[in-house]
Copies of this chain bind each other. A is one copy, B any other.
Amino acid sequence: MSGLVYEKEHTVKYYECDATKKISMPMLLNIMLYVSGEQGRMLGVSDDVVAEHGLSWIILQTEIKVNRLPEAHEKIRVMTQAQSYNKFFTYRDFKVYDEAGELCVTTNCTFAMMDFTQRKMVRIVDELIEPYKVEGTKKLIRTPKPVPVNQETAQSIDYRVRYLDIDGNQHVNNAKYLDWFLDSLGLDFIRQHQLKSINVKYEKEVGYGNMVQSLVSQEVLEDGQIATAHQIVNNGTLSCEASMVWEPLN
């Protein structure tokens, strides 16, 4: 059985939008994760409480499906709900609705718990998940992997990890990877295509000052949509991979 539903309203700001005047994907991911953080706070299991156990929630994977990206001044409603959990993973959905009640964005996230001294995954602590009233199960949900980058045609751009890329957890913020992925496609591509879906798999955290490579390859699908495949590679190690589907705009 799914857990407690939590939702929050948010007014989209000009500065949360990109050059296309729609909310940027990194900002949308930030807002969704904020709303799940707020649910934790309301239930007495805030990130601070989790930190008192020497732990923090980490995101392993996120799949985002986009019907429409909201614009500045729109009042959106972000709904979140944990779906199930097992020994190591918890699965959580997000839905973003516009003022007319239309579903704009659907997201599924897989979370795990990290011991932040040892920087490794640990078993989920029951008392930190119990308040969400979500069903424990032995079932693992198999989420599809991102489509791999075509290494033969891939292009690469370097990004140095900057001061503002680092969040309060002292590593590159989850939303930042989307920034690197999208920038490697270029503004013309983003203007000429509408994003339909993203599948991001986080592999290894990245720290301040690291120089990462953002690799990208493209493929035209049978239905005319474009699939892009992405990797962030940090000193030879895969940090994050993603694939996206785009629809050409006329």
Knowing A13-B34, A15-B173, the reply to whether A168 touches B21 (Cβ < 8 A) is: yes
Contact residues in B for A185 (Cβ distance below 8 Å): 163
B183 touches A163 (CB 8 A): yes
Enumerate 10 A-B pairs (CB-CB under 8 Å) in ascending A order. Answer: A13-B34, A14-B167, A18-B163, A19-B163, A21-B168, A26-B164, A162-B183, A163-B179, A163-B182, A164-B179
B72 touches A168 (CB 8 A): yes
A19, A163, A182, A186: residue with the most chain B Cβ atoms closer than 10 Å? A163
Q: Could you list 9 further interchain pairs (A-B, Cβ under 8 angstroms) beyond the known A162-B179, A166-B187?
A: A13-B34, A14-B168, A19-B166, A19-B167, A21-B168, A41-B73, A163-B182, A163-B190, A164-B179
Q: Which of A161-194 contact B (CB under 8 A)?
A: 162-164, 166-168, 170, 173, 175, 179, 182-183, 185-187, 190
Contact residues in B for A209 (Cβ distance below 8 Å): 187
Considering only CB atoms, which chain B residue lies closest to A178 in the complex? B164
A30, CB-defined interface residue at 8 Å: yes
Considering only CB atoms, which chain B residue lies closest to A164 in the complex? B179
Question: Lowest 4 CB-CB distances: which A-B pairs, in order?
Answer: A15-B30, A19-B166, A162-B183, A21-B168
Knowing A163-B190, A164-B179, A182-B164, the reply to whether A30 touches B13 (Cβ < 8 A) is: yes
A24, CB-defined interface residue at 8 Å: yes
A121, CB-defined interface residue at 8 Å: no
What is the CB-to-nearest-CB distance from A184 to chain B, in angstroms, rounded to a whole number? 9
A131, CB-defined interface residue at 8 Å: no
Considering only CB atoms, which chain B residue lies closest to A18 in the complex? B164
